[in-house]
Amino acid sequence: MAVCARLCGVGQSRRCRRRQRHNQEDQGSDSDMDEEEEERIVGHNATVNRLEFVDRANTGPPNPQSLLDLPPELLVEIFSLLPGTALPNVALVCKKFKQILNTETIWRRRCMEEFGMREDLRKMEVGGVSSRDLYVKLLHPYRHILGLWQPDIGPYGGLLNVVVDGLFIIGWMYLPPHDPRVEDPMRRRPLFRIHMWESKKATVECMYGHKGPHKGDIQTVKKDEFSTKCNQTDHHRMPGGRQEEFRTWLEEEWGRTLEDIFHEHMQELILMKFIYTSQYDNCLTYRRIYLPPQLPSDLLQPGLFKGTYGSHGLEIVMLSFHGTAARATKLTGDPNVPAGQLTLDVDLSRPVVLPDLESQRSIEELSRLVLGVHEEVQREAQQQAKESSTTPEGAAEGACGDASGAEGVDTGSGACSESCQPGPSCSTSPPEAQPFILPLGVMARNEVYPRTCRKCFYGTGLIAGHGFTSPERTPGLFVLFDEDRFGFIWLELKSFSLYSRLTDHLAHAHAPNMERFEAMLRNMQSWTS
């Protein structure tokens, strides 16, 4: 009867009463029991059963049939494990769930696990802002802008990283080190911030200029795109007018004054960039970009690198791997080759073996090695195009024939054949570390470069006239120094670019898969073409 009472909530069940009547028929003498006495006994048992039910409800039923049967403290633990995006739907289930979701423990855990907040939560709570308000009014509404973005600043591009930083969501613009110190750490400049510090709602502030935070706005244009707007652009102006603004910008951007720059062409490039970029007044549109996925077969870890680009200074590129190809895409650019374009395209199936140090000093010897591979690539491309224009079957046969024909190329010239894949299994592969020196006549912005390298490969670099006119790919040599540095010798320009890895931790930035990453690369080229 006690079990039946617990299931029903109060009193006895019908089955219990039926069983009681059956027992009373079997007991003749008991059938004459006074009705008043029976009601007293039944009432007493019901009271006992109610007390037992209440006592057991504190720890929940032994066999709960649904989540509603669980005690509140267990529901709090379960809801704390759910992603924050699912909690609004949970609140719609019933009043009990909605009430439990007001528990601070749930939202504190969501802030910590999804956004990495720790000690900052205590500061917010001391300031009168609950973890629930912080999540619902700040972190959740603006979660879609966290990660890496490229601003639409014409050919110059850029790199914006939006992160939860302390009690704020901050958009940091990443700037390369001052030219030519490519191995120095990146510089950061805040462009905007969002917080709840002074009110119960999220506040957007523009951080551009030198007069402190002021009113701003953020608008979501569409998926993977948002815009910022400054509502008080007068805060960007300086008392000395445009001349003072230019001198301040020049010192921050280049670490020098105009008098220190003697090259007239370089002065023109710098002045052009200032005029072009300052007209936006921090009213910009940003498009999401991803870090490349890493595969076990990659030559080195893909990622972001800072590189030297002559009079244009240091620029940021993204190195990624696609089968036997390594590609570097510009995140920041210049009037010649804008951001988003494929600056380097390296063929990892065509390694180049460097000669001895004395021969490396000769630009003619290096040109002979690289141009020999370049001519071979062109012949194969022409042959493949010729065969593909006849029949599909011929194209398939030609692809196999190219690989077999490449085996007959004389490797004594210093270039490995296509069948010689990079790796320790190749008998002609260079050693792990071999001496390296730039040929005489090749210009380098940074004279301090590694004097040993691991491997070298044939590749092409993109060059163009001002305004991205007459773009063409020119042959060069890709030089892998170590896990964090590589270089490229531009033969036609007789110039050397040194690249150094960007080591900053970038959260919310990795591509979901390779397909999404490659689609992003295609979109980047269309943005600036």
Quote the pLDDT of residue 528.
66
The average pLDDT across 184-209 equals 88
Of 286, 281, 171, 170, the residue nearest 231 (C-alpha): 281
pLDDT of residue 490: 96
Asked if pLDDT for residue 34 goes beyond 50, the answer is no
- Whole-angstrom Cα distance, residue 261 to residue 271? 12
pLDDT at 264 > cutoff 70: yes
**What are the pLDDT digits (tens) for 145-156?**
999 999 999 999
Task: Over range 133-138, report the average pLDDT.
Answer: 86
Mean pLDDT (the chain, rounded)? 79
Residue scoring higher pLDDT (123 or 317): 317
Please report the pLDDT score of residue 30 as a whole number: 44
Mean pLDDT across 407-413? 35
- Is the predicted pLDDT of residue 321 greater than 80, yes or no? yes
> How confident is the model at residue 119, as a pLDDT?
66
Percent of the chain with pLDDT over 90: 41
Give Cβ neighbours of residue 438 (< 8 Å, ≥ 6 apart). 360, 444, 449, 489, 496
What does the pLDDT read at residue 262? 65
Q: For residues 278 and 280, what is the distance between their CA atoms, to the nearest angstrom? A: 5
| Lowest-pLDDT choice from 119-133, 444-458, 468-482 | 119-133
Name the pTM for this structure: 0.77
Q: Which residue has the tokens 């007959």?
A: 408
What pLDDT is recorded for position 49? 46
Residue 9: pLDDT over 90: no
pLDDT at res. 524: 86
pLDDT in tens, 70-118: 888 888 888 888 888 888 888 888 888 888 888 888 888 888 888 887 7
What confidence score (pLDDT) does residue 125 get?
65
pLDDT of residue 62: 63
Burial of 37 from C-beta contacts in 10 A (0-12 / 13-18 / 19+): exposed
pLDDT for 419 = 37
User: CA dihedral defined by 161, 109, 86, 287, rounded to 10 degrees?
Assistant: 0
Of 158-162, 216-220, 405-409, 520-524, the one with minimum mean pLDDT is 405-409
pLDDT at 76: 84
Residue located via tokens 């020999």? 372
pLDDT at 401 over 50: no
Q: Is the pLDDT of residue 231 over 70?
A: yes
Q: Which domains, ranges and CATH numbers included, belong to the chain?
A: 142-285 (no CATH), 295-377+432-527 (2.40.128)
- Mean pLDDT, range 394-401, rounded to an integer: 39
Closest CA to 346 of 425, 485, 232, 460: 460
| pLDDT recorded at residue 39 | 43
